[in-house]
Amino acid sequence: MERYYQPEIECASRDQIRQWQSERLVKQVRNVWDNVPMYRKRMEETGVSPEDIQSVDDLYKLPFITKDDLRDEYPYGLLARPLNECVRIQSTSGTTGRRVVAFYTQHDIDLWEDCCARAITAAGGTKDDICHVSYGYGLFTGGPGLNGGSHKVGCLTLPMSSGNTDRQIQFMTDLGSTILCCTPSYAAYLAESIHEKGLQDQIKLKSGIFGAEAWTEEMRRDVEEKLGIKAYDIYGLTEISGPGVAFECSAQDGMHINEDHFIAEVINPKTGEVLPDGEKGELVFTSITKEAFPLLRYRTRDICILSREKCACGRTHVKMTKPLGRSDDMLIIKGVNVFPSQIETVLMNKGYAANYQIIVDRVNNSDTIEVQVEMTPEMFSDSLSVVANKEKELVAALKAMLGIYAKVKLVNPKTIARSEGKAVRVIDKRNLYQNK
């Protein structure tokens, strides 16, 4: 039997959802007009005033906002509430230069945790469950979001955070964890380690809630089989709240977007034109219930398809496919958002030319990144120790910029293939977006 955390909302009629969206949107537009100078300026430039927004049908009139706007307004520019009403900050996993900071009032946290509670309940979670949260805790939204959702459902919550795989497995077997929340690549790694230790019979897991990065149907089947669970996808982004913006139900065929809090649109990333359901494009969100950090028409850069076809689970909220790619060049490596431009900045600062290639792969279910960069003729050396020292120096500088380890391989001048068109900077061998 399908379970819901908030059945009256999750299974509301389409008319009811539309009415909520319209009322909340009108209020939110007035709110940002009054309280966030950037929105008022943008709306004035576009020739839109709050009176022009009477319902969701008018949403298209509002200007888009992007990650660049968030960076320009960093840190406090987009706050819609006084700072002393905010109780929490979270931040995207991208580091230096690209960091985005989101603010929450207590009410914002409450609604965000409701969204995560809906996801956990859809994955079969009840107060009888032991919910093992192995997403990172801290600035990253994964740990705190699922932790809060788990409390709301009433599960016994294990705030494991990520890493220390032996301890994870020990707690899992000793305490009898029944729901696992972590990135899909960590789930695959845990599954493999459990099998290596021959402990699969001592695992009591029944479901997993995996997201924050792309994963394929093949990976789902593999993890489901190895751990004897049902694996559910969960989607979200810090800017809009964190995990739980959308989540999978028992149909395991796309994720329901929590439309009472977020209005979803899909647009043509080149022209900005709004596309009908069923067409592939960039996902855009408007947060209609956020108090501290409301974003209107925020371009996620995630490519997906929306569907309003009736779902077997009984939920009525629109479904999104798994992200099918991105309209920018952001990579997610070990859960960390990485932009090739950050790597280029490090190389340039250290005196290298723009002849480099970034090779991303997945080895034993763990992401790897290697940066191959040409030495300039002036720095060329055939002494192995000189080269090794230069590589070490770059590894440290990249770690400082990205927050993760990237292998560096210095190669001789003129050995990286030159392109006649656009340079091919990134070779991603993971094939993560092969679903549709």
Binding site for ligand DLL (CB under 6 A): 92-93, 135, 141-142, 211-214, 233-238, 242-243, 300, 302, 322-323, 332, 337
Report which secondary-structure segment, H or E, holds 169.
helix 165-171
Are residues 303 and 269 in contact, defined by beta-carbon separation less than 8 angstroms?
Answer: yes
Measured from the CB atom, the residue of 48 and 139 that comes closer to ligand DLL is: 139
Measured from the CB atom, the residue of 147 and 238 that comes closer to ligand DLL is: 238
CB of 332 to ligand DLL, least distance (A): 6
Cα–Cα distance, 177 to 140 (Å, whole number): 23
Those residues whose C-beta lies under 8 Å from the C-beta of residue 187, and which sit 6 or more positions away, are 180, 208, 210, 223, 227, 231
Measured from the CB atom, the residue of 12 and 318 that comes closer to ligand DLL is: 318
Measured from the CB atom, the residue of 26 and 214 that comes closer to ligand DLL is: 214
CB of 177 to ligand DLL, least distance (A): 18
CB of 100 to ligand DLL, least distance (A): 7
Among candidates 313, 307, 317, 326, which has minimal Cα distance to 252?
313
Q: Where are the beta strands (DSSP E) in 34-105?
A: 86-91, 101-105
Question: Which residue is closest to ligand DLL by CB?
Answer: 211
Residue 223 to residues 10, 170, 200, 230, 336, Cα–Cα distance (Å)? 28, 19, 12, 9, 22
CB of 368 to ligand DLL, least distance (A): 19
Cα–Cα distance, 61 to 53 (Å, whole number): 8
Measured from the CB atom, the residue of 113 and 302 that comes closer to ligand DLL is: 302
Measured from the CB atom, the residue of 29 and 294 that comes closer to ligand DLL is: 294
Q: For residue 36, which amino acid is it?
A: V
CB of 322 to ligand DLL, least distance (A): 6
CB of 169 to ligand DLL, least distance (A): 21
Cα–Cα distance, 370 to 355 (Å, whole number): 14
Measured from the CB atom, the residue of 53 and 331 that comes closer to ligand DLL is: 331
CB of 300 to ligand DLL, least distance (A): 5
What distance lies between CA 110 and its chain's CA centroid?
A: 20
Measured from the CB atom, the residue of 53 and 313 that comes closer to ligand DLL is: 313
CB of 336 to ligand DLL, least distance (A): 8
DSSP 358: E
Those residues whose C-beta lies under 8 Å from the C-beta of residue 325, and which sit 6 or more positions away, are 303, 433
Cα–Cα distance, 311 to 323 (Å, whole number): 19
Report helix, strand and coil shares of the chain as percent, to nearest 5.
Answer: 35, 25, 40
